[in-house]
Chains A and B, each alone.
Chain A
Amino acid sequence: MPSTPVARLAAPAVHPASPSLRHLAVVAAAWLAAVAVFGQAADRKVIIIDPGHGGDDNGARSTAGTFEKDVNLILAKALQTELSQDKQLQVVLTREGDQRLALEERAIHVNRLRADLFLSLHCAHAPQESSDGFLIYYFQPDADQADTYHYLKTPLGGRELRVLPWNLAQFQWVPASKEMAGILQRRLNEFYARSSGAPLGGPLKLLATVNCPAVLLEAGHLSNPADERRLDDAGHRAALAQVLRQAVAEFLKASEPIRETP
Protein backbone atom coordinates (compact mmCIF):
# COMPACT_ATOMS: atom_id res chain seq x y z
CA MET A 1 0.00 0.00 0.00
CA PRO A 2 2.44 2.69 -1.05
CA SER A 3 -0.18 5.48 -1.42
CA THR A 4 -1.27 5.65 2.26
CA PRO A 5 1.68 7.64 3.71
CA VAL A 6 1.43 10.13 0.85
CA ALA A 7 -2.30 10.77 1.47
CA ARG A 8 -1.61 11.36 5.14
CA LEU A 9 1.20 13.80 4.36
CA ALA A 10 -1.02 15.85 2.05
CA ALA A 11 -4.05 15.98 4.39
CA PRO A 12 -3.03 18.77 6.89
CA ALA A 13 -2.51 21.30 4.06
CA VAL A 14 -6.04 21.04 2.71
CA HIS A 15 -8.06 23.77 4.59
CA PRO A 16 -6.43 27.19 3.83
CA ALA A 17 -7.30 28.22 0.28
CA SER A 18 -3.92 29.82 -0.36
CA PRO A 19 -1.98 29.69 -3.68
CA SER A 20 0.49 27.32 -2.01
CA LEU A 21 -2.36 24.86 -1.67
CA ARG A 22 -2.60 24.51 -5.42
CA HIS A 23 1.15 23.98 -5.59
CA LEU A 24 0.95 21.39 -2.91
CA ALA A 25 -1.94 19.64 -4.67
CA VAL A 26 0.06 19.51 -7.88
CA VAL A 27 3.12 18.16 -6.07
CA ALA A 28 1.01 15.63 -4.20
CA ALA A 29 -0.69 14.50 -7.40
CA ALA A 30 2.66 14.14 -9.13
CA TRP A 31 3.99 12.27 -6.14
CA LEU A 32 0.99 9.94 -6.09
CA ALA A 33 1.37 9.28 -9.81
CA ALA A 34 5.06 8.58 -9.37
CA VAL A 35 4.34 6.23 -6.49
CA ALA A 36 1.66 4.46 -8.53
CA VAL A 37 4.00 3.99 -11.49
CA PHE A 38 6.89 2.97 -9.27
CA GLY A 39 4.65 0.69 -7.26
CA GLN A 40 3.55 -1.04 -10.43
CA ALA A 41 7.12 -1.31 -11.63
CA ALA A 42 8.13 -2.77 -8.29
CA ASP A 43 5.39 -5.37 -8.66
CA ARG A 44 6.74 -6.43 -12.01
CA LYS A 45 8.94 -9.48 -11.92
CA VAL A 46 12.31 -9.17 -13.56
CA ILE A 47 13.26 -12.15 -15.70
CA ILE A 48 16.76 -12.28 -17.13
CA ILE A 49 17.40 -14.48 -20.13
CA ASP A 50 21.01 -15.26 -20.83
CA PRO A 51 21.96 -16.52 -24.30
CA GLY A 52 25.10 -18.55 -23.54
CA HIS A 53 28.48 -17.85 -25.21
CA GLY A 54 28.91 -15.19 -27.92
CA GLY A 55 31.59 -13.37 -29.89
CA ASP A 56 34.73 -15.46 -30.32
CA ASP A 57 33.26 -18.01 -27.91
CA ASN A 58 31.10 -20.08 -30.27
CA GLY A 59 30.10 -22.69 -27.72
CA ALA A 60 29.39 -26.13 -29.14
CA ARG A 61 29.26 -26.71 -32.90
CA SER A 62 27.04 -29.09 -34.84
CA THR A 63 28.41 -31.30 -37.62
CA ALA A 64 26.56 -29.06 -40.07
CA GLY A 65 28.46 -26.07 -38.66
CA THR A 66 25.77 -24.38 -36.55
CA PHE A 67 27.20 -22.50 -33.58
CA GLU A 68 25.64 -22.85 -30.16
CA LYS A 69 25.95 -19.09 -29.53
CA ASP A 70 23.61 -18.36 -32.47
CA VAL A 71 20.99 -20.94 -31.47
CA ASN A 72 21.07 -19.64 -27.89
CA LEU A 73 20.49 -16.05 -29.00
CA ILE A 74 17.67 -16.78 -31.43
CA LEU A 75 15.90 -18.92 -28.83
CA ALA A 76 16.41 -16.24 -26.17
CA LYS A 77 14.74 -13.68 -28.45
CA ALA A 78 11.79 -16.02 -29.07
CA LEU A 79 11.44 -16.45 -25.31
CA GLN A 80 11.68 -12.70 -24.74
CA THR A 81 8.90 -12.10 -27.27
CA GLU A 82 6.73 -14.71 -25.58
CA LEU A 83 7.36 -13.58 -21.99
CA SER A 84 6.95 -9.89 -22.84
CA GLN A 85 3.28 -10.52 -23.63
CA ASP A 86 2.81 -10.66 -19.89
CA LYS A 87 2.89 -7.00 -18.78
CA GLN A 88 3.73 -8.07 -15.24
CA LEU A 89 7.10 -9.27 -16.47
CA GLN A 90 10.13 -7.21 -17.29
CA VAL A 91 12.27 -9.33 -19.59
CA VAL A 92 15.93 -8.50 -20.12
CA LEU A 93 18.54 -10.28 -22.25
CA THR A 94 22.17 -10.34 -21.09
CA ARG A 95 23.28 -9.92 -24.70
CA GLU A 96 21.27 -8.83 -27.73
CA GLY A 97 23.95 -9.39 -30.34
CA ASP A 98 26.90 -11.61 -31.07
CA GLN A 99 29.38 -10.27 -28.56
CA ARG A 100 31.64 -11.93 -26.03
CA LEU A 101 30.41 -11.50 -22.48
CA ALA A 102 32.30 -12.77 -19.46
CA LEU A 103 30.35 -14.95 -17.03
CA GLU A 104 31.01 -12.34 -14.34
CA GLU A 105 29.46 -9.62 -16.50
CA ARG A 106 26.33 -11.71 -16.93
CA ALA A 107 26.08 -12.19 -13.16
CA ILE A 108 26.67 -8.47 -12.53
CA HIS A 109 23.73 -7.74 -14.83
CA VAL A 110 21.41 -10.13 -12.97
CA ASN A 111 22.43 -9.07 -9.48
CA ARG A 112 22.28 -5.35 -10.25
CA LEU A 113 18.71 -5.65 -11.56
CA ARG A 114 17.69 -7.74 -8.53
CA ALA A 115 16.12 -10.27 -10.85
CA ASP A 116 13.39 -12.64 -9.74
CA LEU A 117 14.49 -15.41 -12.08
CA PHE A 118 17.50 -16.13 -14.22
CA LEU A 119 17.40 -18.45 -17.22
CA SER A 120 20.63 -19.29 -19.02
CA LEU A 121 20.05 -20.82 -22.45
CA HIS A 122 22.53 -23.27 -23.97
CA CYS A 123 22.74 -26.33 -26.22
CA ALA A 124 24.15 -29.68 -25.26
CA HIS A 125 26.85 -31.59 -27.13
CA ALA A 126 27.61 -35.30 -26.76
CA PRO A 127 30.36 -37.47 -28.25
CA GLN A 128 27.82 -39.82 -29.84
CA GLU A 129 25.23 -38.55 -32.31
CA SER A 130 22.43 -40.61 -30.74
CA SER A 131 22.23 -38.58 -27.51
CA ASP A 132 19.35 -36.15 -27.81
CA GLY A 133 16.88 -34.02 -25.89
CA PHE A 134 17.11 -31.18 -23.42
CA LEU A 135 19.01 -31.04 -20.13
CA ILE A 136 18.25 -28.83 -17.14
CA TYR A 137 20.81 -27.78 -14.54
CA TYR A 138 20.76 -25.92 -11.27
CA PHE A 139 23.67 -25.01 -9.04
CA GLN A 140 24.63 -27.74 -6.63
CA PRO A 141 27.87 -27.28 -4.73
CA ASP A 142 30.31 -30.14 -4.66
CA ALA A 143 31.43 -31.43 -1.28
CA ASP A 144 34.30 -28.90 -0.94
CA GLN A 145 32.08 -25.90 -1.71
CA ALA A 146 29.40 -27.13 0.68
CA ASP A 147 32.06 -27.48 3.39
CA THR A 148 33.28 -23.92 2.79
CA TYR A 149 29.77 -22.50 2.96
CA HIS A 150 28.99 -24.49 6.07
CA TYR A 151 32.18 -23.28 7.72
CA LEU A 152 31.50 -19.63 6.89
CA LYS A 153 27.97 -19.90 8.20
CA THR A 154 28.88 -21.35 11.59
CA PRO A 155 29.35 -18.75 14.36
CA LEU A 156 32.96 -19.74 15.02
CA GLY A 157 34.01 -20.19 11.42
CA GLY A 158 32.30 -17.01 10.37
CA ARG A 159 34.06 -14.89 12.98
CA GLU A 160 37.06 -14.21 10.84
CA LEU A 161 35.32 -14.37 7.49
CA ARG A 162 32.02 -12.57 7.88
CA VAL A 163 31.62 -11.79 4.20
CA LEU A 164 30.46 -14.64 2.03
CA PRO A 165 32.48 -14.88 -1.18
CA TRP A 166 30.61 -13.78 -4.28
CA ASN A 167 30.80 -17.25 -5.77
CA LEU A 168 28.61 -18.55 -2.95
CA ALA A 169 25.74 -16.12 -3.71
CA GLN A 170 23.54 -18.86 -5.16
CA PHE A 171 23.65 -21.04 -2.03
CA GLN A 172 20.56 -19.53 -0.40
CA TRP A 173 18.62 -19.92 -3.65
CA VAL A 174 19.39 -23.59 -4.29
CA PRO A 175 15.98 -24.88 -3.09
CA ALA A 176 14.12 -22.30 -5.22
CA SER A 177 16.34 -22.96 -8.24
CA LYS A 178 15.79 -26.67 -7.83
CA GLU A 179 12.05 -26.08 -7.73
CA MET A 180 12.14 -24.05 -10.95
CA ALA A 181 14.29 -26.77 -12.55
CA GLY A 182 11.69 -29.36 -11.52
CA ILE A 183 8.79 -27.37 -12.94
CA LEU A 184 10.66 -26.86 -16.20
CA GLN A 185 11.56 -30.55 -16.43
CA ARG A 186 7.95 -31.62 -15.90
CA ARG A 187 6.59 -29.18 -18.48
CA LEU A 188 9.25 -30.02 -21.08
CA ASN A 189 8.76 -33.74 -20.46
CA GLU A 190 5.08 -33.22 -21.31
CA PHE A 191 5.94 -31.11 -24.36
CA TYR A 192 8.37 -33.64 -25.78
CA ALA A 193 6.35 -36.64 -24.51
CA ARG A 194 9.29 -37.90 -22.51
CA SER A 195 8.80 -39.95 -19.39
CA SER A 196 12.27 -39.92 -17.85
CA GLY A 197 14.91 -37.42 -16.92
CA ALA A 198 15.57 -35.16 -13.98
CA PRO A 199 17.33 -31.83 -13.47
CA LEU A 200 21.04 -32.10 -12.76
CA GLY A 201 22.82 -30.25 -9.96
CA GLY A 202 26.42 -29.24 -10.59
CA PRO A 203 29.04 -26.65 -9.59
CA LEU A 204 28.33 -24.33 -12.50
CA LYS A 205 30.40 -21.15 -12.57
CA LEU A 206 27.78 -18.62 -13.67
CA LEU A 207 24.88 -19.94 -11.60
CA ALA A 208 27.05 -19.92 -8.46
CA THR A 209 27.43 -16.12 -8.62
CA VAL A 210 23.79 -15.34 -9.37
CA ASN A 211 21.81 -13.95 -6.45
CA CYS A 212 18.33 -15.19 -7.39
CA PRO A 213 16.65 -18.45 -8.47
CA ALA A 214 18.63 -19.61 -11.48
CA VAL A 215 18.39 -22.43 -14.00
CA LEU A 216 20.46 -23.39 -17.03
CA LEU A 217 18.68 -25.08 -19.91
CA GLU A 218 20.41 -26.95 -22.69
CA ALA A 219 17.50 -26.86 -25.11
CA GLY A 220 18.69 -29.76 -27.23
CA HIS A 221 21.78 -31.57 -28.50
CA LEU A 222 23.61 -29.80 -31.32
CA SER A 223 25.41 -33.11 -31.89
CA ASN A 224 22.05 -34.70 -32.79
CA PRO A 225 20.78 -33.78 -36.30
CA ALA A 226 17.07 -34.06 -35.37
CA ASP A 227 17.55 -31.76 -32.36
CA GLU A 228 19.49 -29.34 -34.51
CA ARG A 229 16.69 -29.25 -37.10
CA ARG A 230 14.09 -28.61 -34.40
CA LEU A 231 16.09 -25.76 -32.87
CA ASP A 232 16.49 -24.27 -36.33
CA ASP A 233 12.70 -24.23 -36.84
CA ALA A 234 11.03 -20.93 -35.84
CA GLY A 235 7.69 -22.65 -35.23
CA HIS A 236 9.29 -25.10 -32.86
CA ARG A 237 11.14 -22.33 -31.04
CA ALA A 238 7.88 -20.40 -30.55
CA ALA A 239 6.16 -23.51 -29.17
CA LEU A 240 9.10 -24.16 -26.87
CA ALA A 241 8.99 -20.53 -25.71
CA GLN A 242 5.33 -20.99 -24.80
CA VAL A 243 6.16 -23.96 -22.61
CA LEU A 244 8.95 -22.00 -20.94
CA ARG A 245 6.51 -19.13 -20.30
CA GLN A 246 4.09 -21.51 -18.59
CA ALA A 247 6.92 -22.86 -16.44
CA VAL A 248 8.01 -19.32 -15.48
CA ALA A 249 4.41 -18.38 -14.57
CA GLU A 250 3.98 -21.53 -12.48
CA PHE A 251 7.24 -20.87 -10.64
CA LEU A 252 6.46 -17.20 -9.93
CA LYS A 253 3.00 -18.11 -8.68
CA ALA A 254 4.37 -20.81 -6.41
CA SER A 255 7.04 -18.57 -4.94
CA GLU A 256 4.73 -15.59 -4.33
CA PRO A 257 3.67 -16.29 -0.69
CA ILE A 258 7.31 -16.83 0.34
CA ARG A 259 8.32 -13.59 -1.32
CA GLU A 260 5.73 -11.38 0.40
CA THR A 261 6.52 -12.35 3.96
CA PRO A 262 9.45 -10.21 5.08
Chain B
Amino acid sequence: MTRKVLLIALAVALVLSLAGVWILYRSELAKQAAERQEADAAAETMTPGAAPDDVTQGELQIKLYFRAPAPSAGTLALLTPEVRTIPQSIRKEYLIRRILDALIAGPTQGGGPTIPKGTIVRQVFVANNLAVIDFSREIAVRHPGGVLGEMATVYSIVNSVVDNVPGVDGVRILVDGSERSTLSGHLALDRSFGAAPEFVVGASGRDALIQEENLE
Protein backbone atom coordinates (compact mmCIF):
# COMPACT_ATOMS: atom_id res chain seq x y z
CA MET B 1 0.00 0.00 0.00
CA THR B 2 2.63 2.53 1.08
CA ARG B 3 4.68 1.30 -1.82
CA LYS B 4 1.89 2.21 -4.27
CA VAL B 5 1.60 5.74 -2.80
CA LEU B 6 5.34 6.17 -3.06
CA LEU B 7 5.28 5.13 -6.73
CA ILE B 8 2.44 7.57 -7.54
CA ALA B 9 4.29 10.39 -5.72
CA LEU B 10 7.44 9.63 -7.71
CA ALA B 11 5.52 9.65 -10.99
CA VAL B 12 3.86 12.97 -10.13
CA ALA B 13 7.25 14.47 -9.21
CA LEU B 14 8.69 13.30 -12.51
CA VAL B 15 5.85 14.77 -14.54
CA LEU B 16 6.04 18.05 -12.62
CA SER B 17 9.78 18.42 -13.12
CA LEU B 18 9.47 17.61 -16.82
CA ALA B 19 6.73 20.21 -17.15
CA GLY B 20 8.96 22.72 -15.37
CA VAL B 21 11.83 22.11 -17.75
CA TRP B 22 9.43 22.42 -20.70
CA ILE B 23 8.07 25.76 -19.45
CA LEU B 24 11.57 27.12 -18.86
CA TYR B 25 12.60 26.00 -22.34
CA ARG B 26 9.57 27.67 -23.95
CA SER B 27 10.15 30.95 -22.16
CA GLU B 28 13.80 30.94 -23.25
CA LEU B 29 12.70 30.40 -26.87
CA ALA B 30 10.22 33.26 -26.60
CA LYS B 31 12.92 35.51 -25.15
CA GLN B 32 15.29 34.70 -28.01
CA ALA B 33 12.58 35.36 -30.60
CA ALA B 34 11.85 38.72 -28.99
CA GLU B 35 15.55 39.61 -29.07
CA ARG B 36 15.75 38.68 -32.73
CA GLN B 37 12.74 40.82 -33.52
CA GLU B 38 14.32 43.73 -31.70
CA ALA B 39 17.54 43.31 -33.68
CA ASP B 40 15.61 43.19 -36.96
CA ALA B 41 13.74 46.34 -35.99
CA ALA B 42 17.04 48.04 -35.17
CA ALA B 43 18.43 47.05 -38.56
CA GLU B 44 15.38 48.50 -40.27
CA THR B 45 15.83 51.81 -38.52
CA MET B 46 19.17 52.24 -40.32
CA THR B 47 17.01 53.89 -42.98
CA PRO B 48 17.31 57.66 -42.57
CA GLY B 49 14.35 59.40 -41.07
CA ALA B 50 13.11 56.25 -39.39
CA ALA B 51 16.14 55.93 -37.12
CA PRO B 52 15.90 57.50 -33.68
CA ASP B 53 19.65 58.16 -33.71
CA ASP B 54 19.64 59.79 -37.17
CA VAL B 55 19.96 63.28 -35.78
CA THR B 56 19.91 65.96 -38.44
CA GLN B 57 21.16 69.48 -38.11
CA GLY B 58 20.07 71.91 -40.80
CA GLU B 59 20.64 71.22 -44.45
CA LEU B 60 23.63 70.34 -46.55
CA GLN B 61 24.38 71.16 -50.14
CA ILE B 62 25.83 68.13 -51.89
CA LYS B 63 27.12 67.29 -55.36
CA LEU B 64 25.84 64.05 -56.84
CA TYR B 65 27.60 62.56 -59.84
CA PHE B 66 25.43 61.11 -62.62
CA ARG B 67 26.29 59.80 -66.06
CA ALA B 68 27.32 62.55 -68.45
CA PRO B 69 25.17 62.62 -71.62
CA ALA B 70 27.93 61.30 -73.91
CA PRO B 71 31.63 61.62 -73.26
CA SER B 72 33.53 63.33 -76.04
CA ALA B 73 35.69 60.95 -78.03
CA GLY B 74 38.85 59.79 -76.36
CA THR B 75 37.99 61.06 -72.91
CA LEU B 76 36.73 59.43 -69.76
CA ALA B 77 34.55 62.40 -68.79
CA LEU B 78 31.79 60.06 -67.73
CA LEU B 79 30.21 61.95 -64.87
CA THR B 80 28.33 65.18 -64.54
CA PRO B 81 27.66 66.84 -61.16
CA GLU B 82 24.20 67.78 -59.92
CA VAL B 83 23.77 69.97 -56.84
CA ARG B 84 21.14 68.98 -54.28
CA THR B 85 20.16 70.01 -50.78
CA ILE B 86 19.54 67.25 -48.22
CA PRO B 87 19.01 67.17 -44.43
CA GLN B 88 22.40 67.01 -42.77
CA SER B 89 22.71 63.80 -40.76
CA ILE B 90 25.22 64.08 -37.95
CA ARG B 91 26.29 60.44 -38.20
CA LYS B 92 28.38 59.71 -41.31
CA GLU B 93 26.57 56.42 -41.98
CA TYR B 94 23.22 58.19 -42.29
CA LEU B 95 24.69 60.96 -44.39
CA ILE B 96 26.12 58.36 -46.78
CA ARG B 97 22.73 56.62 -46.92
CA ARG B 98 20.98 59.88 -47.81
CA ILE B 99 23.52 60.53 -50.56
CA LEU B 100 23.20 57.01 -51.98
CA ASP B 101 19.40 57.02 -51.81
CA ALA B 102 19.41 60.27 -53.81
CA LEU B 103 21.87 58.73 -56.27
CA ILE B 104 19.68 55.64 -56.70
CA ALA B 105 16.55 57.80 -57.12
CA GLY B 106 18.27 59.23 -60.20
CA PRO B 107 19.10 62.53 -61.87
CA THR B 108 16.74 65.47 -62.34
CA GLN B 109 18.90 67.75 -64.46
CA GLY B 110 19.73 65.90 -67.66
CA GLY B 111 22.34 63.38 -66.59
CA GLY B 112 21.76 59.64 -66.78
CA PRO B 113 21.22 57.18 -63.92
CA THR B 114 24.24 55.17 -62.83
CA ILE B 115 22.69 52.64 -60.45
CA PRO B 116 20.20 50.02 -61.72
CA LYS B 117 16.58 50.36 -60.59
CA GLY B 118 15.63 48.20 -57.62
CA THR B 119 19.06 48.46 -55.98
CA ILE B 120 18.96 49.16 -52.26
CA VAL B 121 21.67 50.01 -49.77
CA ARG B 122 21.79 47.10 -47.32
CA GLN B 123 24.34 48.42 -44.88
CA VAL B 124 26.88 51.19 -44.51
CA PHE B 125 29.71 51.55 -42.07
CA VAL B 126 32.73 53.77 -41.83
CA ALA B 127 36.04 52.28 -40.65
CA ASN B 128 38.73 54.92 -40.18
CA ASN B 129 38.46 56.94 -43.41
CA LEU B 130 36.95 54.17 -45.51
CA ALA B 131 33.22 53.88 -46.18
CA VAL B 132 32.11 50.29 -46.76
CA ILE B 133 28.81 50.11 -48.62
CA ASP B 134 26.86 46.90 -49.09
CA PHE B 135 24.42 47.09 -52.00
CA SER B 136 21.71 44.58 -52.86
CA ARG B 137 22.45 42.26 -55.78
CA GLU B 138 20.45 44.33 -58.27
CA ILE B 139 23.42 46.67 -58.66
CA ALA B 140 25.27 43.82 -60.38
CA VAL B 141 22.65 41.53 -61.92
CA ARG B 142 20.64 44.38 -63.44
CA HIS B 143 23.70 46.28 -64.64
CA PRO B 144 23.38 47.10 -68.37
CA GLY B 145 27.08 46.31 -68.93
CA GLY B 146 29.83 47.89 -70.99
CA VAL B 147 33.14 49.16 -69.65
CA LEU B 148 32.12 52.82 -69.48
CA GLY B 149 28.79 52.00 -67.83
CA GLU B 150 30.56 50.04 -65.15
CA MET B 151 33.09 52.79 -64.53
CA ALA B 152 30.28 55.34 -64.37
CA THR B 153 28.46 53.28 -61.72
CA VAL B 154 31.49 52.77 -59.51
CA TYR B 155 32.91 56.27 -59.73
CA SER B 156 29.52 57.98 -59.37
CA ILE B 157 29.22 56.23 -56.01
CA VAL B 158 32.81 56.84 -54.97
CA ASN B 159 32.93 60.49 -56.00
CA SER B 160 29.49 61.29 -54.56
CA VAL B 161 30.46 59.82 -51.16
CA VAL B 162 34.06 61.04 -50.89
CA ASP B 163 33.23 64.55 -52.13
CA ASN B 164 30.42 65.12 -49.64
CA VAL B 165 31.30 63.25 -46.47
CA PRO B 166 34.05 64.87 -44.42
CA GLY B 167 36.63 62.40 -43.15
CA VAL B 168 35.84 59.74 -45.76
CA ASP B 169 38.62 59.31 -48.34
CA GLY B 170 37.78 55.96 -49.87
CA VAL B 171 34.92 53.61 -50.67
CA ARG B 172 34.69 49.85 -50.71
CA ILE B 173 31.70 48.36 -52.52
CA LEU B 174 30.19 45.04 -51.44
CA VAL B 175 27.33 43.25 -53.16
CA ASP B 176 24.81 41.27 -51.15
CA GLY B 177 27.19 41.05 -48.20
CA SER B 178 30.17 39.74 -50.17
CA GLU B 179 33.18 40.96 -52.05
CA ARG B 180 32.72 40.74 -55.80
CA SER B 181 35.42 40.78 -58.44
CA THR B 182 33.52 43.08 -60.84
CA LEU B 183 30.00 44.51 -61.22
CA SER B 184 29.51 43.37 -64.82
CA GLY B 185 32.79 41.85 -65.92
CA HIS B 186 35.29 44.63 -66.56
CA LEU B 187 36.28 46.98 -63.74
CA ALA B 188 38.10 45.56 -60.69
CA LEU B 189 35.75 45.90 -57.71
CA ASP B 190 37.73 43.86 -55.15
CA ARG B 191 39.56 46.84 -53.71
CA SER B 192 38.98 50.28 -52.25
CA PHE B 193 38.53 53.31 -54.46
CA GLY B 194 39.55 56.90 -53.88
CA ALA B 195 37.69 59.76 -55.57
CA ALA B 196 38.54 60.16 -59.26
CA PRO B 197 37.88 63.76 -60.31
CA GLU B 198 39.38 62.96 -63.73
CA PHE B 199 36.15 61.18 -64.68
CA VAL B 200 34.09 64.33 -64.24
CA VAL B 201 33.17 66.52 -67.21
CA GLY B 202 35.51 69.48 -67.42
CA ALA B 203 38.39 67.82 -65.57
CA SER B 204 41.79 67.64 -67.19
CA GLY B 205 42.59 64.42 -69.03
CA ARG B 206 43.39 61.25 -67.17
CA ASP B 207 46.75 60.86 -68.83
CA ALA B 208 47.80 64.17 -67.39
CA LEU B 209 47.12 62.79 -63.93
CA ILE B 210 49.12 59.61 -64.13
CA GLN B 211 52.35 60.11 -65.98
CA GLU B 212 54.03 57.16 -67.57
CA GLU B 213 57.22 57.60 -65.54
CA ASN B 214 55.21 56.49 -62.51
CA LEU B 215 55.22 53.05 -64.03
CA GLU B 216 59.00 52.67 -64.43
Question: Which of chain B's residues 58-91 have a Cβ closer than 8 Å to chain A?
Answer: 67, 69-70, 73-74, 76
Cβ-defined contact, B145 with A142, below 8 A: no
Chain A residue contacts of B148, Cβ below 8 A? 124, 126, 135
A128: Cβ under 8 A from any B Cβ: yes
Q: Which of B73, B147, B190, B212 contacts A122 (CB 8 A)?
A: B147
Given known A122-B147, A126-B146, A128-B70, contact A205–B206 (CB-CB < 8 A): no
Cβ-defined contact, B145 with A59, below 8 A: yes
Interface string of B204-216 (1 = CB under 8 A from A): 0011011010110
A175: Cβ under 8 A from any B Cβ: yes
In the complex, how many angstroms separate the beta carbon of B147 from the nearest chain A beta carbon? 6
Chain B residue contacts of A197, Cβ below 8 A? 73-74
In the complex, how many angstroms separate the beta carbon of A204 from the nearest chain B beta carbon? 6
Cβ-defined contact, B185 with A103, below 8 A: yes
B193: Cβ under 8 A from any A Cβ: yes
Report the number of A-B residue pairs with Cβ-Cβ less than 8 Å: 116
Question: Which of chain A's residues 33-84 have a Cβ closer than 8 Å to chain B?
Answer: 52-53, 57, 59-61, 68
Interface string of B182-198 (1 = CB under 8 A from A): 10111111111110100
Chain B residue contacts of A198, Cβ below 8 A? 73-74
In the complex, how many angstroms separate the beta carbon of A32 from the nearest chain B beta carbon? 43
Given known A146-B214, A204-B186, A204-B187, contact A60–B70 (CB-CB < 8 A): no
Cβ-defined contact, A143 with B188, below 8 A: no
Cβ-defined contact, B212 with A124, below 8 A: no
A111: Cβ under 8 A from any B Cβ: no
Given known A122-B147, A142-B194, A201-B206, contact A59–B69 (CB-CB < 8 A): no
Query: B interface, by DSSP: helix, strand, loop or mixed?
Result: loop
In the complex, how many angstroms separate the beta carbon of A126 from the nearest chain B beta carbon? 7
Cβ-defined contact, B193 with A142, below 8 A: yes
Q: How far is the CA of A59 from the CA of B183 in the complex (A)?
A: 11
Cβ-defined contact, B146 with A125, below 8 A: yes
Most A Cβ at <10 Å: residue of B67, B147, B184: B147
Chain B residue contacts of A53, Cβ below 8 A? 185
B173: Cβ under 8 A from any A Cβ: no
In the complex, how many angstroms separate the beta carbon of B66 from the nearest chain A beta carbon? 10
Q: Which of A124, A167, A196 contacts B146 (CB 8 A)?
A: A124
Cβ-defined contact, A149 with B215, below 8 A: yes
Cβ-defined contact, B144 with A60, below 8 A: yes
Interface string of A114-139 (1 = CB under 8 A from B): 00000000111111101100010100
A150: Cβ under 8 A from any B Cβ: yes
Chain B residue contacts of A59, Cβ below 8 A? 145, 184-185
A167 to B, closest residue via Cβ: B188
Given known A57-B185, A142-B193, contact A135–B215 (CB-CB < 8 A): no
Chain B residue contacts of A216, Cβ below 8 A? 147, 186
Interface string of B31-59 (1 = CB under 8 A from A): 00000000000000000000000000000
A196 to B, closest residue via Cβ: B73
B131: Cβ under 8 A from any A Cβ: no
Cβ-defined contact, B215 with A205, below 8 A: no
A202: Cβ under 8 A from any B Cβ: yes
Given known A149-B215, A197-B73, A203-B188, contact A127–B112 (CB-CB < 8 A): yes
B151: Cβ under 8 A from any A Cβ: yes
A140: Cβ under 8 A from any B Cβ: yes
| Beyond A144-B194, A216-B147, 19 extra complex contacts between A and B, CB < 8 Å | A52-B185, A57-B185, A102-B181, A104-B181, A124-B148, A128-B70, A140-B206, A141-B210, A143-B210, A144-B170, A149-B214, A174-B215, A197-B73, A201-B207, A204-B187, A205-B187, A205-B190, A206-B186, A223-B144
The 8 closest A-B pairs by CB, nearest first: A198-B74, A60-B145, A125-B146, A205-B188, A196-B73, A127-B112, A197-B73, A124-B146
